[in-house]
Chains A and B, each alone.
Chain A
Amino acid sequence: MKKRLLSLLLAGVMATTMVAGCAKKPGAEGGEKGASEKGYELALITDVGTIDDKSFNQGSWEGLETYAKDNGITCKYYKPAEKSDSACLTSIDLAVKGGAKVIVTPGFLFEAPIYQAQEKYPDIKFIMVDAAPISPEKEVKINDNVSSVFYAEEQSGFLAGYAAVVEGYTKLGFMGGIAVPAVIRFGYGFVQGAEAAAKDLNISGVEVKYTYVGNFDATPENNAKAAAWYNNGTEVIFACGGAVGNSVMKAAEAAGKKVIGVDVDQSAESETVMTSAMKSLSTSVYDTVASVYKDSFQGGKSVTLTAKENGVLLPMETSKFNKFDQTKYDELYKGLQDGTIKVGNDTIATDASKLSSDYVKVESIK
């Protein structure tokens, strides 16, 4: 009996489905024009991460969204259907169909797609973060409607490494996401910063454990790895890979140790975040979008934002420093700006362990 009731119920559900299915058809024909009636002028297309990746997607989106809100413009982010050049290109098509006039694309994933799209949509402005249009044949070509923005991550890493040693830490860790150029620049800068501080303060025996975990995710494995380092005596870890930071913070909370965040100000994520090696993603996207609306958009070239352009920074207001103060920060920053402090980028060594010196010993873990 019960069974019969149940089948009856399900039959009822199915009947409704069929009716609903039929009733829908006339609508389907009329609805085709609906797609573009409402537009989103500002668009961001994420790479495989989403806008909460604690990294360039998030920083870029914050800049875009703020500008949209300040000026009453519509904005929206899209996610490609899969991680491939053609899917990225399709998502550009979708954004254009959605009424986009400015499209922001964070990450190297868009190198080839934008190379094509800049020709296909000459009236649309593209802002590329951490990438430039490159053809599959490795030819770089930047049209006038494309602005490509890079950052001098090594300077940001330098500031963080310097601060960590000034704070009195001698056992440092660097946990990069994946060994892509931006991450390497952060890491090498971090080591150089630690070295400079050790030299200035005449501390010898600073140790840096250095590794790339191979992903940008919060995973139990990353957590265990960080926990193992803390347990082994590491005092502060520079977690340089989006959500990898969450795993490291978790381990730091348990061990009562410190973390240095990356890309965006991560101080709100956890009490353990001492500071964050930031790049000005949000402001630079904001400014570039603003330049489009002020007709001062400078496309056709690729710029690397350094301390000179205030492209890198530590968020001093939210940092939890005891010894490293604003004066010291300003002094360093000025040095970076006028070139008296020079920081090498990702080209200075093939492996982090080669950065070892009298002051700093780097242990590269593969």
Chain B
Amino acid sequence: MKKINNERFVGLSASVLAILCGLLFGFILLLVTNPSQAVNGFLMIVQGGFTDGMKGIGDVLYYATPIIMTGLSVGFAFKTGLFNIGASGQFAAGAFAAVFVGIKWTFLPAGIHVIVCLIAAILAGALWGIVPGLLKAYFNVSEVISGIMMNYIGMSLVNLLIRTSIYDQLKNQSLPVAETAVLSKMGLNKVFDGANINAGIIIAVICVILVYIILEKTTFGFELKACGLNTNASKYAGINEKRNIVLSIVIAGALAGLGGALLYLAGSGKFLQVLDVVAPEGFAGISVALLGSSNPIGILFAGLFIGYITVGGYNMQLYGFVSEAIDIIIAAIVYCGALSLLFKTLIYKFQMKKRNKNNKKEEA
């Protein structure tokens, strides 16, 4: 028991160290480009969502919602030993399905409509996940490669479908979804005045809890993790590895797809664009999953953190900085996170030293 706790502690400290390194790198960057304003600009990042009171915090939650979902998607697959780089495509598929149903199926009564939209998104995301899953399980195709391919196929297909079905030509984007398909504000907008908050964040938190329960409290979750840790051993233990691979990535796809729905049904006036760009939320999910050590609770906080500094980076424009600095910082954090082995060894060493010292003291 103690060992597990210690592992968690080390994982957390490694993430914190990665964040600190990334922030330091960002600060140096600001310092180099504009020394006189660097401190002010950096403070804006550090203050993040708190600059604007409750509205700022609400915005943090809004930006965090979709990337928590993609983070969960990537993290869940990661637990099974799969790298779901295809989260972008699943996200786009889910977003399209949700918006499509939101625009077209207006015959559905209020209350039911939005739920059908969410279900459509889940199914579409899962469908987009099943392809790399099957290819991996039955054809031994790397899910990274097929995921990248599916991202681009998804991007073009969604563009095609938008243009042929739900296109607002005057604005080169999707039509607005029906009122009944927009996620309820649930009174949260009264608390976070002026912010874009809605039920999305609550659904995301529910997903976090669900994923936590699946992974930690069910045999199924245990099997998935076992596959991730050691495929051979799990095979001997009678675990159906192929089925688990497919299921794992399908669930991951469903999570990412739902994320797409939560973003585009948020009622924030965001529309699907016909652009040749792979959805960036999927890649943000990789950073989130990594920062959260693929742990659902960790992912929740990592998503909030990234939302937090995104708002901060945006406010940084007041000091003449370009908000892309945040993307640089996040990239630096992810890179440092990839070096987590180094951090972990360092922390272990530090602990060992401490323990040795204590031992020595006891001896003395």
Q: Do chains A and B touch in the complex (CB under 8 A)?
A: yes
A-side residues, CB < 8 A to B, are 7, 10-11, 13-14, 16-18, 20-21, 24, 27-28, 31-32, 34-35, 76, 78-79, 81-88, 90, 93-94, 97-98, 108, 112-113, 136, 178-181, 214-215, 219
Q: Which of A24, A98, A108 contacts B171 (CB 8 A)?
A: A108
CB of B148 within 8 Å of the partner chain? no
Known: A21-B24, A180-B171. A90 touches B270 (CB 8 A): no
A81 to B, closest residue via Cβ: B314
In the docked arrangement, what's the CA distance between A32 and B51, Å? 8
- Digitize B32-61: 1 where CB-to-A-CB distance is under 8 Å, 0 elsewhere: 000000011011101100011000000100
CB proximity of B35 to chain A, nearest CB, Å: 15
Query: B315 an interface residue at 8 Å Cβ cutoff?
Result: yes
List which B231-288 residues lie within 8 A (CB) of chain A.
268-271, 273-276
Pick the 5 closest A-B CB pairs, nearest first: A85-B269, A84-B270, A178-B172, A86-B268, A17-B24
Knowing A84-B269, A86-B196 touch, does A7 contact B342 (C-beta < 8 A)?
Answer: yes
Cβ of B323 within 8 Å of any chain A Cβ, yes or no, is yes
Evaluate contact between B59 and A17: CB separation under 8 angstroms: no
Of the listed residues B23, B171, B317, B318, the one surrounded by the most CB atoms of chain A closer than 10 A to its CB is B318
**Distance in Å from the Cβ of A3 to the closest Cβ of chain B?**
10
**A13–B21 CB distance below 8 A:** yes
A214–B163 alpha-carbon span in the complex (Å): 10
Contact check, B273 vs A136: say whether CB atoms are below 8 A apart: no
Known A18-B20, A21-B20; further 19 A-B contacts with Cβ < 8 A? A14-B17, A20-B24, A27-B39, A28-B43, A31-B39, A31-B40, A31-B47, A32-B51, A34-B40, A79-B317, A83-B270, A83-B271, A86-B268, A93-B52, A94-B314, A94-B317, A179-B169, A179-B170, A180-B169
Looking across the interface, which residue of chain A has its beta carbon closest to that of B62?
A86
* A residues in contact with B170, CB < 8 Å: 108, 179-181
Instruction: Report yes or no: B176 in contact with A136, Cβ–Cβ below 8 A.
Output: yes
How far, in angstroms, from A215 to B24 measured CA to CA in the complex?
38
22 inter-chain pairs at a CB distance below 8 angstroms, sorted by A residue, are A7-B345, A10-B346, A13-B24, A14-B21, A14-B346, A17-B23, A27-B43, A28-B43, A28-B47, A31-B39, A31-B47, A35-B315, A81-B310, A81-B311, A85-B269, A85-B270, A86-B62, A86-B270, A94-B317, A98-B318, A108-B171, A214-B172
Find residues 188-231 in chain B having any chain A CB closer than 8 Å to their own CB.
Answer: 194, 196
Closest to B25 in A: A17
Asked if B76 is at the interface (CB within 8 A of a chain A CB), the reply is no
Contacts of B308 in A (CB 8 A): none
B276: chain A residues at CB < 8 Å are: 215, 219
A175 to B170, CA, bound (A): 16
The answer to whether B91 has its CB under 8 Å from any CB of chain A is no
Q: How far is the CB of B131 from chain A (nearest CB, A)?
A: 26
Task: Verify if B83 is at the interface (C-beta below 8 Å from A).
Answer: no
Query: Cα distance A353–B264 when bound, in Å?
Result: 36
The answer to whether A17 touches B342 (Cβ under 8 A) is no
- Minimal beta-carbon separation of A232 from chain B (angstroms): 24
A345 to chain B, nearest CB (A): 14
In the complex, are the beta carbons of B268 and A87 less than 8 A apart? yes
Choose from B40, B176, B346 the contact partner of A11 (Cβ within 8 Å): B346
Which of A13, A81, A178 is the one whose CB lies under 8 Å from B323?
A: A81
Q: Which of B59, B63, B169, B314 has the most CB of A within 10 A?
A: B314
Given contacts A7-B346, A21-B20, are A214 and B269 in contact (CB under 8 A)? Answer: no
Flag if A84 contacts B21 (CB, 8 Å).
no
B342/A24 in contact, CB under 8 A: no
* Total A-B contacts with CB atoms under 8 angstroms apart: 106
Tell me the bound Cα distance from A319 to B315 in angstroms. Answer: 42
Are B20 and A84 in contact, CB atoms less than 8 angstroms apart? no
How big is chain B's contact interface, by range? Answer: 35 or more
B314: chain A residues within 8 A (beta carbon)? 81, 90, 94
What's the nearest-Cβ distance from chain B to residue A78, in Å? 5
Q: Which residues of A lie under 8 Å from residue B43 when comparing CB positions?
A: 24, 27-28, 31, 34
Asked whether, in the complex, the Cβ of A85 is within 8 Å of the Cβ of B46, the reply is no
CB of B27 within 8 Å of the partner chain: yes
User: A136 CA to B267 CA in the complex, in Å?
Assistant: 11
Beta-carbon contact of A90 and B20 below 8 Å: no
With a CB–CB cut-off of 8 A, which chain B residues contact A86? 62, 196, 268-270
A55 → chain B, closest Cβ, in Å?
A: 14
Closest-CB distance, B144 to chain A (whole angstroms): 26
Question: Contacts of A88 on B, CB cut-off 8 Å?
Answer: 269
Tell me which residues from 161 to 177 in chain B have a Cβ below 8 Å from any Cβ of chain A.
169-172, 176
Please give, as numbers and ranges, the residues of chain A lying within 8 Å of B42 by CB-CB distance.
24
Q: Is the CB of A90 within 8 A of B59?
A: yes
A84 adjacent to B323 (CB under 8 Å): no
- Alpha-carbon distance A205/B271, docked complex (angstroms): 42
CB distance from B9 to the nearest CB of A (A): 17
Chain A hits for B318, CB < 8 A = 35, 94, 97-98
A85, closest chain B residue (CB): B269
Complexed CA–CA distance, A51 and B342 (Å): 43
Residues of A within 8 A of B171 (CB): 108, 180
**Structural contact, B20 and A14, CB atoms closer than 8 A:** yes
Per the bound structure, the CA–CA distance linking A18 and B318 in Å amounts to 27
- Give min CB distance, A75 to chain B, whole Å: 12
Q: Which of A21, A78, A112, A219 contacts B23 (CB 8 A)?
A: A21
Chain B residues positioned under 8 Å from A79 (CB to CB): 317, 323
On chain B, the residues within 8 Å of A13 by CB distance are 21, 24
* CB-CB nearest in chain B for A25: B46
Of all chain A residues, the one with the shortest Cβ separation from B21 is: A17
* B42 nearest CB neighbor, chain A only: A24
A76 cross-chain contacts in B, Cβ below 8 A: 317, 320
A residues within 8 A CB of B346?
7, 10-11, 14
* Least distance between B272 CB and chain A CB atoms (Å): 10
Contact B270 A16 (CB under 8 A): no
**Nearest A-chain residue to B343, judged by Cβ:** A14
Q: Report how far A34 CA is from B46 CA in the complex, Å.
A: 14
| B269 and A17 contact, CB distance less than 8 A | no
Provide the bound-state CA to CA distance between A82 and B42, in Å: 21
User: For A7, what are the chain B residues with a Cβ–Cβ distance below 8 Å?
Assistant: 342, 345-346
